[in-house]
A = this chain, B = another copy of it.
Amino acid sequence: MVLVEDEGPVRQAIERALRREGMVVTGFSDYPGPDQVLAAAPDLAVLDVLLPGGDGFELARELRAARDLPIVFLTARDAVEDRLGGFALGADDYLVKPFALEELMARVRAVLRRTGRLGAAIEAGDVVVDEQAGIATRAGSPLELTPTELRLLAYLVRQRGLVLSKHQLLTQVWGYDAYDPNVVEVHVSALRRKLETHGPRILATVRGLGYRLDPR
């Protein structure tokens, strides 16, 4: 991950957010040479278009010439119209300032997923989940999970150790707005049954708060 953005606070906020997702971030505050960028061996570059000492589009062109690197642009409003010709130049996505950090995160994830550079298996204790492959195992034994159970388990594994409210699970795993706690309860129940055929309970209920996956 390479990030080029001249405004300090903005850059820091984005860096923190990306690191939070487990990415390795190299930040530049001024126009770097293509060699500097490529030295970081990034999977993705996030470039501000307006840079002191250079132009994000020009940098992108040079990077693209060197190797196939997904690029997301950050642009000021008026820059869009003029230069969007540069979109043809191979931006995988772009955001118009101002944007919420959440928005950028979503785009970055999407681009990485699309370009197949987003990680494979994740694990917590003896539980391994490969969402891409649709496979989950515990202590080496495969778990026969339904799609929903797999997404649920994957989310729990990613957030292991944290209490996740049912509402949070509904929005994150199901994409629901409505709040029907029982849906979660039923799937947790089913997931536990399958998990616990291969070991002790690791998916704990925290009454009044939600659930927590305890890695061991």
Contacts and interface: CB of A to CB of B under 8 A. Distances in A.
Interface of A: 7, 9-10, 12-13, 16-17, 20, 64, 68, 76-77, 84-85, 87-94, 97-102, 105-107, 109-111, 113-116, 119, 132-134, 146-147, 161-163, 167-168, 171, 177, 179, 206-209, 212
A68 B179 CA distance: 34
B10 A168 contact: no
A2 to B, nearest CB: 18
A115 B10 contact: no
Nearest to A65: B9
Contacts of A115: 16-17, 20
A9 B65 CA distance: 9
B147 A207 contact: yes
How many copies of this chain does one complex carry? Answer: 2
A111 B101 CA distance: 9
A162 to B, nearest CB: 5
B93 A209 contact: no
A107 to B, nearest CB: 7
Contacts of A119: 161-162
A168 B103 CA distance: 11
B133 A161 contact: yes
Nearest to A9: B64
B68 A77 contact: no
A206 to B, nearest CB: 4
B109 A168 contact: yes
Given A89-B13, A102-B167, A147-B208, A114 B7 contact: no
A12 B212 CA distance: 30
A163 B177 contact: no
A132 B147 CA distance: 27
Contacts of A99: 89
B91 A102 contact: no
22 contacts: A7-B88, A9-B90, A10-B89, A12-B68, A20-B113, A76-B88, A84-B98, A88-B98, A91-B100, A92-B101, A93-B101, A100-B177, A102-B107, A105-B114, A109-B168, A119-B161, A119-B162, A132-B162, A132-B163, A133-B162, A147-B206, A147-B208
